[in-house]
Structure 1
């Protein structure tokens, strides 16, 4: 299969290229400014923001194209300019309009599509992905729309999936600061599992929309698995949400945050989706423990700053404040 990956140098795109090469497909990756693609893949440098940015690959006929873009204009031009039998577009759970309930399926209401071809910032990420989905569906080829949940595993630059095993492996005291919300519903999909299924979707030309994430699990199970994998003697120290807010500790991602948790009832189901359709079409996900174990190995050798979690100083500050209030 002649597979064109629009991307192929970052977390998911590179994993898709790896998975396709393992199955002996011919892989071409097109990206801007980086040739860091897996060995065996061809690389083409191009700027998709240019109107003719895909000219170098538009004369060929591809068995499938995989696109991870968040910019509607880029997707519109790709559908206009490329010849392929099948699209696989990586969308997001962010397209849904409401997250107050868990495990919604593909028929749940969506946000309105972004009006315009450029997403200026992440505040309209969901709307931009809805617009991208529309352009892919309007094309002449069959299409797999993959609404992915939180992507984790080795290479997760954000640190959302790696923070907890890393923190238990490198505690700053006798305990680890965690939110006091043990039943918060979590879900993670290992990037390698998602990538493998993306290649399957391209091979089988699956023509439908699919939610893709891991099973829904309570937050306390993530914490227990992280501690076990880290072989840590540190105990979780649960802190109420109101206290965390007073100490300026956020949720999900960003500086001074606690990943995989959101203190907002309207977003309680954000990480979860019903994935029955994708699993019936071949999606297989590995155990949480396997993902966290391999992610910890990545965290222990990473050099780039983590984009989620508490630094050592931040966790020590929280612990000291809790101890002062207790005395």
Structure 2
């Protein structure tokens, strides 16, 4: 297949390009390359997509498949205008953040969506879901519905720059000082390995799969994930369970970002990590055991440095202060 990856230098898009080359496809990546270069074996077209239609002038001929990972509707719409008419199959890597409700467990692809971002409204992290919903709408319009809307969940695995899924195994590997853990053992986590997601996107393109499909892994209780993280890391210290109310009162953030406890979700998100993946599995999605993803993530965390600055999680100093207060309150 002649495949165009709109991106190819970061986490998921790079993995897609790498696997596509390994599978024998002819792969072109269109990317700025300001932070990294695409994998070896691809044809690299350097372009700044903020320039609009001019970005695609060097892309000649037709494509068997185009894979789009954008989060901003403006460049995504420009790409559709320039390329959809000469592309056999279009994949848009969307997100489960397009759903309007995150409280219902086992929700499928027919769940209500957010209102798409209004034209002319800047795309920001705060309207991420609305931005992805807008790109879904434009993708369906431009392709006449002949597109795969790959609604990915939390993506983990080696190379994850968000520092969310890797926080816990890295924390337990870092040292054996008392670890502060939210008391949510029965709550669900749900991650898809970046390598499995990339393989699924290529499989879907090869077989002409279309429509919206939840690309998510199976749900795993947070307590099981934390226990496996401790075991994999060889942690022998004390685990201090902290109630959700106590953590909120101490200014600890949910889910991601600085000063957070990753994978801990706010109230009303009981369905966020329990999305149904039945339709995607029926269409060909395959995922590896989550323990394998965790082990490989830990190996990646060790190689990147357990003491490095992280985009998500508690700093050792903040955790030490919290642990001291929890121990004193006994």
> TM-score, normalization: structure 1?
0.95
Correspondence for 1:268: 270
The answer to whether the 8 Å contact 2:53/2:79 transfers is no
Unpaired stretches in structure 1, ≥5 consecutive residues: none
1:58 is displaced (CA, Å) by: 4.1
Per-residue Cα deviation, 1:61-103 (whole angstroms, up to 9, x for no partner): 0110000001111111111101210101000000000101122
The answer to whether the 8 Å contact 2:176/2:235 transfers is no
The answer to whether the 8 Å contact 2:176/2:237 transfers is no
1:120 is displaced (CA, Å) by: 3.4
The answer to whether the 8 Å contact 2:9/2:33 transfers is no
The within-5 A match list for 1:53-64 is 53-64=54-65
Match of 1:286 among 281, 288, 295: 288
Secondary structure (helix, strand or coil) at the match of 1:298 reads helix
Secondary structure (helix, strand or coil) at the match of 2:179 reads strand
Secondary structure (helix, strand or coil) at the match of 1:39 reads coil
Number of matched pairs: 324
Q: C-alpha separation between the residues in 1 aligned to 2:2 and 2:252? A: 47
1:50 is displaced (CA, Å) by: 1.4
Residue 164 (structure 1) aligned with residue 165 (structure 2): no
Correspondence for 1:70: 71
Residue 152 (structure 1) aligned with residue 166 (structure 2): no
Residue 47 (structure 1) aligned with residue 48 (structure 2): yes
Q: C-alpha separation between the residues in 1 aligned to 2:215 and 2:57? A: 32
Correspondence for 1:94: 97
The answer to whether the 8 Å contact 2:240/2:326 transfers is no
The answer to whether the 8 Å contact 2:29/2:45 transfers is yes
Residue 103 (structure 1) aligned with residue 106 (structure 2): yes
The answer to whether the 8 Å contact 2:156/2:293 transfers is yes
* CA distance 1:117–1:50, change in 2 (3 Å): farther
Deviates more, 1:175-184 or 1:31-40: 31-40
* CA distance 1:300–1:70, change in 2 (3 Å): same
* CA distance 1:206–1:57, change in 2 (3 Å): farther
The within-5 A match list for 1:254-265 is 254-264=257-267
Q: C-alpha separation between the residues in 2 aligned to 1:201 and 1:29? A: 19
Q: C-alpha separation between the residues in 2 aligned to 1:85 and 1:38? A: 24
> TM-score, normalization: structure 2?
0.94
Secondary structure (helix, strand or coil) at the match of 2:310 reads coil
1:193 is displaced (CA, Å) by: 0.2
Q: C-alpha separation between the residues in 2 aligned to 1:235 and 1:188? A: 26
Unpaired stretches in structure 2, ≥5 consecutive residues: none
Deviates more, 1:37-46 or 1:112-121: 112-121
Correspondence for 2:82: 81
